[in-house]
Amino acid sequence: MALRGRIGAYRTAALHDSRALTVAARAARWAQFEAAVDPESVLPPEERRRRAQAARRAHLARISRLGVLARRGKTQARRDGDLVRLDLTPEQVALLAAAGEVG
């Protein structure tokens, strides 16, 4: 099933502009970042944009960090001969790593 999805995604990308297809989603996500940093819309637009950019960067860095922790935990488990628990969320892997049980 994943292969069918990949084929469909490639076909869509070949026929349509992917930026145009996702413009509404990107605008909605940006609005979420702006609302998070200025829920009452009292900041000047430039400051709200600057803070939203910082919030977006922080969000992406947090996601990246969790992915690294998850991969590190899986790699260490393979080295130790442990079973890899694929049902764990990145947050759970991070907690186990902090407790010294993984990675």
- Residue 34 burial by Cβ neighbours in a 10 Å radius (0-12, 13-18, 19+): buried
Q: Is residue 46 part of a domain?
A: yes
Q: Is residue 9 part of a domain?
A: yes
Domain total in the chain: 1
Q: Is residue 42 part of a domain?
A: yes
pLDDT in tens, the chain (103 residues): 789 999 999 999 999 998 999 999 999 999 999 999 999 999 999 999 999 999 999 999 999 999 998 888 877 766 665 555 556 677 777 777 777 665 5
Q: Is residue 84 part of a domain?
A: yes
User: Does residue 52 contact residue 30 with C-beta atoms inside 8 Å?
Assistant: yes
Amino acid identity, residue 101?
E
* Segments forming the whole domain that contains residue 53: 2-98
**C-alpha of 60 from chain center:** 6
